Chains A and B, each alone.
Chain A
Amino acid sequence: MLYALEARHAPVVSLWVWYHVGGRNEVPGTTGMSHFLEHMLFKGTPKHPKGDLDRLLARYGAQWNAFTSEDVTCYFETVPKARFETALELESDRMRNALISVEETEAERTVIVSEREGYENDPSFLLGEELQAIAFSRHTYGQGVIGSKDEIKLMTRDGLYSHYRRFYAPNNAYVVVTGDDEPERLIEQAAASFGTLEPSHDLGEPPKAPEPEQHGERRVTVHRAGGTLPIVMLAFRAPRATDSRAAAISALAVALAGTSTGSDGASGRSSRLHRALVETGLAADVDASFQLMKDPFLFLTDATLRPGVKHADVERVLVDELSKLSTDLVAEDEFARVRRQLLASTAFNTDTITWRAYRCGQLLSTGAATSIGDWYAKLAAVTREEIREAAAGLFVERSRSVGWFVPEGDAA
């Protein structure tokens, strides 16, 4: 599927290719395969050996990269308008012709282990990974994205290649282009590049492992010496992006933690969790997030505690704050602030050409909306009552998973 948006304020074009393959398509023993494969797509094709087109892109000052999530693997290039054809050549060529040699697989394996080890240095990653694992008993979302270190070490070239041939094809991708040209012209160019590529005949059915209903709270505690401040995370089962409550749940996240600019940020300080936890000296930092996902995922809240504060005290406040949203309507003035933040943040993100293309691709690939305008309209239509109903449906004790990071030596 091809999709184009006009953005005339700078002489650049951003090309994004979204493949419907990610952590959800993996089974135990191959966790991290989609992410490993993402790295291998930078290792060349017969026509363009490693370093050929990427060196050319560097030359054009391109901003380009890739990422893998539970749902998708995504590649992008933002280039000067005159270089759009180079980006198309790179992406269309590697959609079906990546080499993925044994030698390059071995060389990249240590890089990916190193990436994972970098994450492991962060206590939030360690706790988040454990919490995600206990929150799902059947669905592959519980496996995360990067995979276990042991399974990364066991990944084979042939396994990667087979995964590649199966999922990297025009009939399993969205191509989104945003930039300084007529949308029809952008689509025409993209169609000329991708239109002749061979489809995959082996896509099979999307993964089906519906997560059964949760009937009781789950808890995990991570004890490590690699952090000094305690962390509390709460995860609640949340609906998929296509659910009619998705926009209201997005508003809920803003009511709880604002549109975050990090712990030193000046904005978001009127949010409920900031007032209840940061302003009271219980936490150094708080966050709340809801991601648009293909299948039901999680609504997450977390707090990094001030030194000496007890996990249980912060957990209690978190639960109380969530509970209030489930029972009481947000006040008119608070609702106006939340709505304004929600709508303004969509303008901020989409005023950058790269992120306009990202946002569009995210909405399309998850089915959350048919366009950025459609999503904006859904956010703008959210009511106070819908926020309360969304909270009441979400913040239920029996579908809660709780994680504590306990710095080693600390009494929780």
Chain B
Amino acid sequence: MNRVHRSVLANGLRLAVVPIADLRSTSVLLAVEAGQWFEPVGRPGIARLVAQTMLRGTARRDAAAWASELDALGAVARLDVGAHAAVFSAQCLGDDLSALLALIAEAVRTPALADAEVEFVRGQTLARLEKDERDTRAVSDRAWRQLVYPTGHPFQAPAIGDAEVVRSATPAEIRAFHKSAIASDGAVLVVAGGTTAEAAKDAVGRAFGDWPKRAKPRDANYPQATLATAKRRVELVPDKTQSDVIIGWPGLPRTDPRFTAARVTNMVYAADTFASRAGNVIRDQLGLAYYVFSAIGASRGQSPWIVRMGVNPQNVRRAIEVALDELRKITAGQIAEDDLAVAKDKLVGELDVALESPAGVAAMVLEAEMFDLGEDHFERYPRELRAVTKEQVVETARAFLPPERYALAVAGPALPEALA
């Protein structure tokens, strides 16, 4: 990893710059603590509505003019709402960094949030929600979340939210969330690529230096998500050929000291279709699915820790049984030394390979900064991954992935038999 140049603006915005020689482009990530975790209780979807409306014109210019300015730079950009943050991700030519940051700052700090633009975003979002009703991935994801998270929990719905909330959100509510959540406090800006530390710092200072400082509450208090038994839901989606299957558990905060062991456990179990146990058996040995993978979300809360598979309905029951069997082996301590070594080596090796792109570098730095993993994180992290023991993997799997207490959601065609 190239040197990370860190600084903090007077308003609290944290900046990390990673100059990479020989590149023409620069990646920018601005994460503001305005993700699902910070949404008003019972109003899933508000954060995304705000984020999308922020892209629809500012106090200075309308949506078309702002979009034209962005395209005139040749930049690519998007604004996504995740479990923890709303993240503006963009890439521009190195010489355009200052102009790009100015446009992002304009959208973030002074969006118009006009009534007509709220209506436009509402219409687009409702169309997407309607599309999702017959998208097996989206249906299984929504069903799984409802099984796992209690009412009022920010992760009970996907980031796009609930149709009822999207329909009822008022422009006043949108403006209020922008006012409360979009602030420099807790925000992180990462710049990686063809720039210098000085040039990036100057450009960020010009764009965000006078963003007023305003403290905002950070710690939300949500009920713990727990699974006392196995829970299952099957959703029929007509006229499909494949079932989407999610087996999952509530995960652990990124700030939990056990998170590194959890990443290794995840890799041993199912993170990679080829290098992990579940993929090896389900795809390679039995030919039951084209894709099998698992992922743990990184947030301040219990983000989903899920295994996903696309399976023919005839094979759903078998694939689930095999996935759980592989997990039982892990919790019983049946982990081959080589499987553990491959998992750790892969996670460490991926850190080097990710350096090939400015976006990969920026993503790694953003995670470290957003969750306060420490300035020496990139020196420590490979060592910490390598230090994870078989006992820690077993312990992590038993604590977070109990094979007898899971939530299972299946979406797709009718199944030939009921799931046990």
Contact = CB atoms under 8 A, between A and B. Distances in A.
Interface string B113-140: 0000000100110111011011110000
Nearest to B134: A228
B353 interface: yes
B301 interface: no
A251 to B, nearest CB: 13
A121 interface: yes
Nearest to B310: A118
Given A108-B287, A267-B77, A306-B127, A55 B93 contact: no
B380 interface: no
A121 B287 contact: no
A109 B348 CA distance: 33
Interface string B212-236: 0000000000000000000000000
A235 to B, nearest CB: 22
Contact of A107 (B123, B127, B287, B290): B287
Interface stretch (B62-70, B147-155, B363-371, B394-402): B62-70
Contact of B78 (A51, A262, A337): A262
A266 B87 CA distance: 12
Contacts of A27: none
Contact of A54 (B71, B75, B194, B274): B274
Given A110-B288, A264-B78, A281-B120, A229 B275 contact: no
B250 to A, nearest CB: 26
B92 A111 contact: no
A265 B74 contact: no
Chain B interface helix/strand/loop/mixed: mixed
Contacts of A115: 290
Interface in A276-307: 278-279, 281, 284, 304, 306-307
B350 interface: yes
B110 interface: no
A114 B290 contact: yes
B237 A226 contact: yes
Interface stretch (B4-12, B164-172, B175-183, B239-247): B239-247
Contacts of A114: 242, 287-290, 310-312
Given A284-B127, A353-B356, A117 B238 contact: no
Contact of A79 (B68, B70, B91, B353): B353
A275 B71 CA distance: 13
B72 A340 contact: yes
Nearest to A59: B345
Interface stretch (B18-26, B201-209, B320-328): B18-26
User: Quick one: which of B64, B284, B286 has the most chain A CB within 10 A?
Assistant: B284
A218 interface: no
A59 to B, nearest CB: 4
Given A261-B77, A347-B24, A353-B357, A228 B131 contact: yes
B239 A226 contact: yes
Contacts of A271: 71
A267 B131 contact: no
Nearest to B22: A9
B127 to A, nearest CB: 4
Contact of B357 (A11, A79, A269, A352): A352
B105 interface: no
B67 A266 contact: yes
A59 B342 contact: yes
Interface residues of B, number: 83
Given A228-B130, A340-B72, A118 B55 contact: no
A29 interface: no
Interface string A94-117: 000000000000111111111101
B351 A9 contact: no
A259 interface: yes
B76 A11 contact: no
A120 interface: yes
B346 interface: yes
Interface in A45-81: 50-51, 54-55, 58-63, 78-80
B44 interface: no
A107 B360 CA distance: 35
Contacts of B242: 114, 117-118, 120-121
A184 interface: no
Contacts of B78: 261-262, 264-267
Contacts of B261: none
A336 interface: yes
B193 A351 contact: yes
Contacts of A345: 74, 76
A144 interface: no
A208 interface: no
A58 B346 contact: yes
B33 interface: no
B386 interface: no
Given A226-B240, A337-B68, A351-B193, A63 B353 contact: yes
A225 B359 contact: no
Given A225-B238, A226-B134, A306-B123, A348 B76 contact: yes
B283 interface: yes
A405 to B, nearest CB: 12
A264 B52 contact: yes
Given A229-B127, A264-B79, A9 B20 contact: yes
Interface in A17-36: none
A301 B283 CA distance: 35
B358 to A, nearest CB: 6
B185 interface: no
Contacts of B92: 344
B74 A343 contact: yes
Contacts of A120: 240-242
B355 interface: yes
B347 interface: yes
Interface in B284-302: 284-291
Contacts of B90: 266
Interface in A179-198: none
Contact of B64 (A270, A307, A408): A270
Contacts of A367: none
A235 B322 CA distance: 44
Contact of A269 (B67, B80, B130, B135): B67
Interface in A328-346: 333, 336-337, 340-345
B352 A11 contact: yes
A259 B76 CA distance: 7
B190 to A, nearest CB: 16
B35 interface: no
A80 B130 contact: no
30 contacts: A8-B21, A9-B356, A59-B345, A60-B345, A61-B351, A61-B352, A63-B353, A78-B356, A107-B285, A109-B287, A114-B287, A114-B310, A120-B241, A121-B240, A121-B310, A229-B127, A261-B78, A267-B75, A284-B127, A304-B131, A306-B123, A337-B71, A343-B74, A344-B74, A348-B76, A351-B25, A352-B356, A352-B357, A353-B357, A408-B239
Given A109-B287, A340-B74, A352-B360, 8 more contacts: A61-B346, A79-B353, A259-B74, A267-B78, A268-B71, A284-B127, A333-B72, A347-B93
Interface of A: 7-12, 14, 50-51, 54-55, 58-63, 78-80, 106-115, 117-118, 120-121, 224-229, 258-259, 261-271, 275, 278-279, 281, 284, 304, 306-307, 333, 336-337, 340-345, 347-348, 351-355, 408
- List the 6 shortest-distance A-B pairs measured between CB atoms, nearest first: A61-B349, A344-B74, A269-B67, A340-B74, A226-B239, A352-B357
